[in-house]
Structure 1
């Protein structure tokens, strides 16, 4: 999952495909979930850094989601997903696994910047 927060606080999100796990739900851009994750191209240019892993258990399997995070400059163009303005972004609207990915990214931001405020 790619957790991108722009300098104005906008979050780079996408609506997942209508079919499959979390179908039609809001989430962070990323590739298909697979046993061996492929090298997925980031959804925009930026200094994407590996932030850690988000672990989540569904009823029938465990998921280990690699999280990459970036603070993105104003004017960044998304190749995948779209920027949701700060005032419209509600982390509580995300599925649990996507909130866990956000928590991992915020932890990485805090380690570098000394803050956990996504905006």
Structure 2
């Protein structure tokens, strides 16, 4: 099978050789999580290269990891606007979501709380 690579403004998007659809999806997922998080300058006003990177990763693996460059200046309203910009219309509610429908993740030195959203851990 042939492996193709398509270049974009944020780096190569690999179309990996696979035997079937499930293998192909898993290959894209593994590739996506191996990439660094997309750096977002202003969540409420995505730049074209940020928007393109998110859309391409979601298209390939249904997942995009991003990081706000200035998290202390990013509000829940900004994150909801980012969701709107990329076409996310319905947020799933979970036990860790706040009233806006968002789950805030913080990196801490404490090992007391090891909950990982959307997992059994």
> What TM-score range do you get, normalising by the shorter chain?
under 0.3
Question: Greater Rg, structure 1 or structure 2?
Answer: 2
TM-score by length of 2: 0.25
TM-score by length of 1: 0.25
Higher helix share: 2
User: Which is bigger in relative contact order (C-alpha 8 A, separation at least 6)?
Assistant: 1
Higher strand share: 1
